[in-house]
Amino acid sequence: MQLTPLVPYARLPRAYHGHHIVTSTVDAFGRAHWLLAEREPAAEPYDAVVVTVYDDAHTATWLHGLTSRHADLAVLPDGGFVTAAPRSRPDEAHVQVFDALGRVSRTFRVGDGVEHLLADESGALWVGHFDEGVYGDDPLSWPGLRRWDVTGEPLWTYDHRDSGEISDCYALNVHRTHAWACAYRHFDLLEIRPGRRPVAHANPVRGANALAVHGDRVAFFGGYGDEHDRLVAARLSGGAVHPQVTGRLTRPDGSPVGRRRVVSRGPRIHVQERPGTEWYVFELGA
């Protein structure tokens, strides 16, 4: 069994280790961000700080008036931020857009059951949904995957006629202004580029929740049961995914990866375990 160790990528400055981590992400330009509250929010609204780490330096931006205690975070190229509650009611504007000074500039909805919230280099938002949203009573969630602008207007909506229904958007990779996705139940590798019809690559790899793409090479991380740390290296050819090597992705010291948060960006899979103070990375082609 081939073991591939993760590499340290970014670390939350020690001065913030006493804060409550609401969430964390890696943006389209490779910067790591932590959304922190001074303590676990007990009521809404509340204030929080985004700590950004890049090239061994860090900055802090305060956000005022957050309305979700369990928010996802996306980072805009103009220095602004977007938060979204994973669960929402049809009449609830659960997405907040903050300007670079941390002030709310807009609110809107993207549907219930948000599994992935990733901004691309243009500032557009890619939102993938899990099954309770897709099969719930919120029509915004039914397609399973959409691309939005920061005013709340949909730019692109997945059409099930392209590759079957999305029941749960397991893995989403956003790179530059395009995306790759794998979804339950068909697990085709979807290649999505603005202005073009999505390309579906037949894929025998089931259950991955993260993926990396580099040219005609692709890697899938995760799976069901004992395959939660599986790493599958494959090639794209003839409209299909062809697995080549199956192994395990490990911590830098070779020990197993536990419960984690993942962010997929082009050739990189970023991995963060509890307590959430450090990001690691696997890079396809490194």
pLDDT (tens digit per residue) in 56-73: 899 999 999 999 999 999
Q: Check residue 125 and give its pLDDT.
A: 98
- pLDDT on residue 204: 98
Residues 130-173 pLDDT 10s? 999 999 999 999 999 999 999 999 999 999 988 889 999 999 99
Contact indicator for 37, 19 with CB cutoff of 8 Å? yes
Task: Please compute the mean of the pLDDT values over residues 261-265 and round it to a whole number.
Answer: 98
Whether 178 contacts 193, CB under 8 Å: yes
Question: Left (φ > 0), alpha (ψ -120 to 50) or beta: where does 192 sit?
Answer: beta
Q: Is the pLDDT of residue 286 over 80?
A: no
pLDDT of residue 285: 87
Average pLDDT in the chain: 97
Residue showing tokens 């504007």: 93
Which domains occur in the chain, in start order? 2-283 (2.120.10)
The answer for residues whose C-beta is within 8 angstroms of residue 274's C-beta and 6 or more apart is 258, 259, 260
**Quick one: pLDDT band at residue 222, thresholds 50, 70, 90?**
very high
pLDDT for residue 47 is more than 90? yes
pLDDT, mean of residues 98-116? 98
Q: What's the confidence (pLDDT) of residue 56?
A: 87
DSSP 98-152: E-TTS-EEEEE---S-EEEEEE-TTS-EEEEE-HHHHTSS-TTTTTSEEEE-TTS
pLDDT at 43: 82
Tell whether pTM > 0.95. Answer: yes
Tell me the per-residue pLDDT of 237-248, one tens digit each, with 9 for 90 and over: 999 999 999 999
pLDDT at residue 83, as a whole number: 98
